[in-house]
Structure 1
Amino acid sequence: MSQGADRVWSVSEHLDSILGQLRPLDPIELPLLDAQGCVLVDDVTVVASLPPFANSSMDGYAVRAADVEAATPEHPAVLDVIGDVAAGVGEFPAVGPGQAARIMTGAALPPGAEAVVPVEWTDGGTGEGPAESMTAYADDPSGATGEVRVHRPATAGQFVRERGSDVSVGELALAAGTVLGPPQIALLAAIGRGTVAVRPRPRVVVLSTGSELVPPGQELGPGRIHDSNSYALTAAARAAGAVAYRVGAVPDQVETLRATIEDQLIRADVIVTSGGVSVGAYDVVKEALSSLGGSFGEQAESAAGHVDFRRLAMQPGKPQGFGRIGPDRTPLLALPGNPVSAYVSFELFVRPAIRTLMGANDVHRDVVRAVCTQAVDGSPEGRRQFLRGRYDKQSGTVTPVGGASSHLVGALAQADALIVVPEKVTAFAAGTEVDVVVLD
């Protein structure tokens, strides 16, 4: 593709250019808790049934179904209690005709037993009315003796978790490409996996540029503003699944920025900058990554690798930069500095890059069709515009939030979607069906 200064890139061309140069990170074997948020590399099959043995889902008595099939409050079944079965115990008595074994939740069903009668259906071995809990177990932990009266019948298999009723040997537990969250980690632990092969979460370093930027919590001086971009982009990177490091604001000093980026390469799979990519006198990112200063479309050479600075047919976010720098050819995405421009650019370009490095199946946000509740006009011809909006899934509608200006952080905070206005559309009426990028 031509890198000429007059070249205007489409959104799709720029995204394809980025993703075409990225591959998922190499797999590593991690302990389960360290693998949280990572993408599974291989299918995981079950090597041991879950549960591994039939066990009780209630505190109560393990019985034979035939012995309690006629039990009623008026005519309870009276059974001899031959012992206790506690969770984790490997030896337990066999239940014969007319017998019962006191059993705890999670304990293995003893031989001969077919069902579990909850303690509330019995007298708890007291000879009195229905028991409320297994109090006798606490009073006599050495073993149950005597009789128990059962006031209700139980069918075979009742209150019993059968072996393999959750997952069975040979079944697919988790498919490759699964993002490991708490439920998935629980399953891996339950089937005995202590480690798992995953693609690591990409390490994303985020920094803002601008001598006017002041960290939140510090007092503003004349002409200064608080740095919101580094916070927004770091949070967005974490939400996308990355391990994100916020460097903060770097002043408009070429050597300082270049040194900062070089220092961060050691811990970065991706570097994201905001600001300094336009056509102003202090476009520090372009100057820092180019010995010539460069202009849009020009290939900016760095010490190792290059960064392309481009004009895109989009609003907000016209100026963009992308390249591979450093000895490991680390991807660098240079975003514009206006807060909305930076965030929209992140969603369109950085998030898919992070998801690609993760090896995730869902690289892109969901795009749905929705009816816009308000008219839109003044969209620039030839540019794809992304308006902030509130999406109502139940009604299938979307409502614009704020205007088109790229500094409206307040409106951005109210949005959960991006309304897409195509390049050839400059206006449409309320009730028009549009594409909507659904955000978290």
Structure 2
Amino acid sequence: MSPTALTVVADHCWNGTSDHPAGPTAVTAVDGVITSVAPAPAPAPELPPDARVVRLGARTLLPGLIDCHVHLVDEAHDSGLAAYQTLSAVPAMKAILAAGFTTVRDLGCAHDPINVALRQAVEDGLVEGPRLVVAPNIISAPGGHGDKMPDLSDRYGVDVGTLADGVAGLRRLVRHQARVGADWIKFAASGGFSSPADTPDHVTFTVEEMTAIVATARDHGLRCAAHAFNDEAVRRALTAGVRSVEHANLASAQTFARIADHGAYLCPTLHAQRRFIDNLDDEFWSGRDPRMRAQYRARAWRIRESATHLADSEVRIAFGTDAGMFPHGEAWREFADLAEVGLPPLRVLRAATSVAAELLERPNLGRIAPGATADLVAVAGDPFTDISAMGRVEFVARAGVVVVDRTTDGQ
């Protein structure tokens, strides 16, 4: 569908940066770009005769949401067939968009870099979904978090995923990721809870190796995201110069301060972690990996303690959920979990809009202002007083095209 002229009128409108929502506002977009943000009622700008007008009433209008950490295809659902992986991502992308996320950063995990093809398919209008910013794969060491099939690698010499040791090998992998179309480079600075051969307390690479990854990425105009759960892994990643730290769910208050001092961003993926530790004794774990369960049981108290330091930190939090580890339509629960550990609604909402856009270096996203991309979301209720309103998305426009309209008076 081609973008058309659109005016959205709402009783409450938050622009992604201000301290509080504005009153009645009319937002007009032409050809996917916001051209006017004005108090309503006000003289309407001149629009083409086919312009669409949506009146949201008491709903709250927000910028399109941004999730900086998703997995369209999780390794648990990786059939090994690239075509199947690609098809399985299509309903996930629709669920993401329906939840109000108009842009996501996919940080890989499938063995094939299908997110590169999906990014192009969305841009070309072949499939409906959010705007994709992608790291094709996770760079890891043999035995590290990205080494999902160590037996296969060892027995048959198959390089499964993107595994390397040493500066030369890691530089080669970064160049390969750039070659296949990376927007970002992701690497495992620490082990993980789901890893078959390490733990989240392990550190994967030396500072020299991490620095080689970041420097090579920079040579290609790319930024780096580091999967890092523990203090030492985060410290090394920051020393190397990463732009974003993913998880840090075992980190101390001092480490959060270090992230802030380095000017890096944190994607805490809190809901994914709490989902695992809050259900340790439930049927939730039936049929799941018992080793992973044991890893979470041993560290549940540390995850909870680490989360208590987020609200008091000055770290720039960018909204990232790890969706794909749980259903994509439930990504809104990250809002509630961040608020529950003490973050004020304004900080949480900025994390998913203007701060996330800063992390991705996409200044045209995450805000409602003339010249910005017309990504718009409306929720039933006021998220500034009830953050659960973020789970009640009733309107979504991506680049000026309405893709969700559950309002009764949309026209």
Question: In which range does the TM-score fall when normalised by the shorter chain?
Answer: under 0.3
User: Which one has more relative contact order, counting CA pairs under 8 Å at least 6 apart?
Assistant: 2
Higher alpha-carbon Rg: 1
Instruction: Identify the structure with the greater strand proportion.
Output: 1
* TM-score (ref. length: structure 2): 0.27
TM-score, normalised relative to structure 1: 0.25
